[in-house]
């Protein structure tokens, strides 16, 4: 490994570990139930029938997270992606910031949190956030074996995500409009994110690998490559619980768009990654997203009014970017809540 491959996280963010001249650490200790590992619901997709669909609907509404086995994304392909991902992150930092990864846009490489003003907003990680849409004039995506692997993984994950999204939208009763919205998610409107969490010398749990957030998409498919490096935690019943890594399974989580569309039936649950003092960690996330002009129209039911106003995915992303720029945090769906009728003055 090149010594110069790590982004300069310590040099850039060391000051956030000191507040008023005193060492500062995350207040994760206050909510620390991190030793508590949870067993996410596991759905065996080889047995996909009515019973499994009901289980998926239940897991998405009670947990917002579940795991799938026999998911159809070949294990050998995930291993190939892992090897290529490791090699890409091993290149020198200078190379990563200055070169385009293959033919993807230069902004796809990110590290740390440029907007962070406190430790709580810092993500101790580097990532390639890759739009699946081919760049204009881009005819050479498959010229390297790496881009071919990325294409194959994203095609397989996209098929899986669409299948699960169809089950989840179907699970709320027939609504043609849901189908229409889901059809606006094609592989090319989605994103693949390659994450690497470098060791953090300040100690395990001293920083977030990825600070608490909900995903801004319909559904996320996540693969953790190692069975011995944990770090992912989710908020369950007001407490942070750790997810036990299982590289043979894929983790699925509901994103903000599905929560809004389903009128809070499905839950986009906050999750985070804790940094580790000695070992690095890799993961890959596939985000099922529609085109930016797609309107998310929260369904209303006889029992519940629409909790959110309609918005386009482009509007949602823009608002998040703006909130992060101005406040350091994503405010997410709170911004799009419909005001209760009593609070609207005439």
Ligand X SMILES: O=C(O)CCC(=O)C(=O)O
Closest approach, Cβ 298 to Fe ion, in A, equals 22
Binding mask 187-226 for ligand X (x = CB under 6 A): ------x-x--------------x----x------x-x--
Closest approach, Cβ 257 to ligand X, in A, equals 14
The region of 174-182, 215-223, 227-235, 237-245 touching Fe ion under the rule CB under 5 A is: 215-223
Q: Which residue is nearest to Fe ion (CB)?
A: 215
Using CB under 5 A as the binding rule, whether residue 256 contacts Fe ion is answered as no
CA of residue 84 relative to chain centroid, distance: 20
- Phi then psi for residue 298, to 5 deg, are -55, 130
Using CB under 5 A as the binding rule, whether residue 215 contacts Fe ion is answered as yes
Residues 212, 123: Cα–Cα separation, whole Å: 9
Cβ nearer to ligand X, comparing 195 with 262: 195
Using CB under 6 A as the binding rule, whether residue 283 contacts ligand X is answered as yes
The one of ligand L4NPZUNZ, Fe ion, ligand X, none whose footprint includes residue 283, by CB under 5 to 8 A per kind, is: ligand X
CB half-sphere exposure, 85, CA atoms < 13 A: 29
Cβ nearer to ligand L4NPZUNZ, comparing 113 with 233: 113
Task: Determine the size of the site formed for ligand X (CB under 6 A).
Answer: 11
Residues 296, 232: Cα–Cα separation, whole Å: 29
Cβ nearer to ligand L4NPZUNZ, comparing 81 with 210: 210
Query: Which residues neighbour 253 within 8 Å (Cβ) at sequence distance 6 or greater?
Result: 64, 65, 215, 219, 220, 222, 234, 268, 269, 271
* Residue burial 227-265, b: 16+ Cβ < 10 Å; e: rest: eebbbbbbbbeeebbbbebeeebbbbbbbbbbbbbbbeb
* Residue burial 286-308, b: 16+ Cβ < 10 Å; e: rest: bbbbbeeebebbbbeeeeeeebb
Residues 222-281 that bind ligand X (CB under 6 A): 222, 224, 232, 271, 273
Closest approach, Cβ 124 to ligand X, in A, equals 12
Cβ nearer to ligand X, comparing 189 with 195: 195
In sequence order, what are the beta bridge partners of 273?
Answer: 210, 232
CB atoms within 10 A of CB 146: 17
Closest approach, Cβ 330 to ligand X, in A, equals 11
The one of ligand X, ligand L4NPZUNZ, Fe ion, none whose footprint includes residue 329, by CB under 5 to 8 A per kind, is: ligand L4NPZUNZ
CB atoms within 10 A of CB 278: 10
**Alpha-helical regions (H) of the chain:** 9-13, 50-62, 75-89, 93-98, 145-170, 176-183, 256-261, 313-327
Using CB under 5 A as the binding rule, whether residue 34 contacts Fe ion is answered as no
Query: Which residues neighbour 212 within 8 Å (Cβ) at sequence distance 6 or greater?
Result: 235, 270, 271, 272
CB atoms within 10 A of CB 10: 14
Cβ nearer to ligand L4NPZUNZ, comparing 129 with 184: 129
Cβ nearer to ligand L4NPZUNZ, comparing 15 with 318: 318
Closest approach, Cβ 213 to ligand L4NPZUNZ, in A, equals 4
Cβ nearer to ligand X, comparing 40 with 285: 285
Residues 154, 188: Cα–Cα separation, whole Å: 9
- Please give the residue ranges that form the binding site for ligand X (CB under 6 A): 193, 195, 210, 215, 222, 224, 232, 271, 273, 283, 285
Query: Interface residues with Fe ion (CB under 5 A)?
Result: 215
């Amino acid at each position: 490994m090149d010594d110069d491959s790590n982004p300069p996280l310590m040099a850039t963010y060391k000051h956030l570990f000191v507040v008023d001249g005193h060492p500062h650490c995350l207040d994760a200790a206050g909510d620390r139930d991190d030793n508590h590992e949870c067993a996410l619901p596991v759905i065996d997709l080889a047995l996909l029938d009515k019973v499994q669909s009901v289980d998926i609907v239940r897991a998405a509404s009670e947990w917002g997270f579940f795991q799938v086995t026999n998911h159809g994304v070949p294990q050998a392909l995930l291993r190939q992606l892992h090897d290529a991902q490791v090699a890409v992150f091993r290149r020198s930092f200078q190379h990563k910031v200055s070169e385009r990864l293959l033919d993807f846009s230069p902004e796809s490489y990110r590290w740390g949190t440029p907007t962070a003003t406190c430790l709580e907003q810092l993500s101790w990680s580097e990532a390639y956030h890759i739009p699946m849409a081919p760049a204009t004039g881009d005819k050479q995506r498959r010229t390297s074996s790496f881009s071919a692997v990325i294409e194959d993984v994203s095609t397989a994950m996209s098929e899986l995500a669409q299948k699960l999204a169809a089950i989840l939208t179907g699970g709320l009763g027939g609504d043609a409009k849901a189908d229409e919205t889901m059809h606006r998610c094609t592989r090319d409107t989605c994103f693949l994110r390659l994450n690497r969490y470098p060791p953090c010398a300040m100690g395990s749990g001293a920083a977030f690998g990825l600070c608490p957030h909900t995903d801004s998409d319909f559904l996320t498919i996540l693969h953790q490559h190692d069975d011995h490096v944990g770090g992912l935690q989710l908020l369950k019943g007001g407490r942070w619980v750790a997810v036990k890594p299982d590289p043979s399974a894929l983790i699925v989580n509901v994103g903000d768009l599905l929560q809004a569309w389903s009128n809070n039936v499905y839950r986009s649950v906050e999750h985070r990654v804790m940094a580790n003092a000695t070992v690095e960690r890799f993961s890959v996330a596939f985000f099922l997203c529609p085109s930016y002009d797609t309107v998310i129209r929260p369904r209303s039911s006889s029992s519940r009014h629409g909790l959110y106003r309609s918005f386009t995915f482009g509007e949602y992303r823009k608002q998040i970017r703006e909130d992060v720029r101005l406040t350091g945090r994503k405010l997410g769906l709170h911004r799009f809540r419909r005001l209760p009728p009593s609070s609207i003055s005439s």
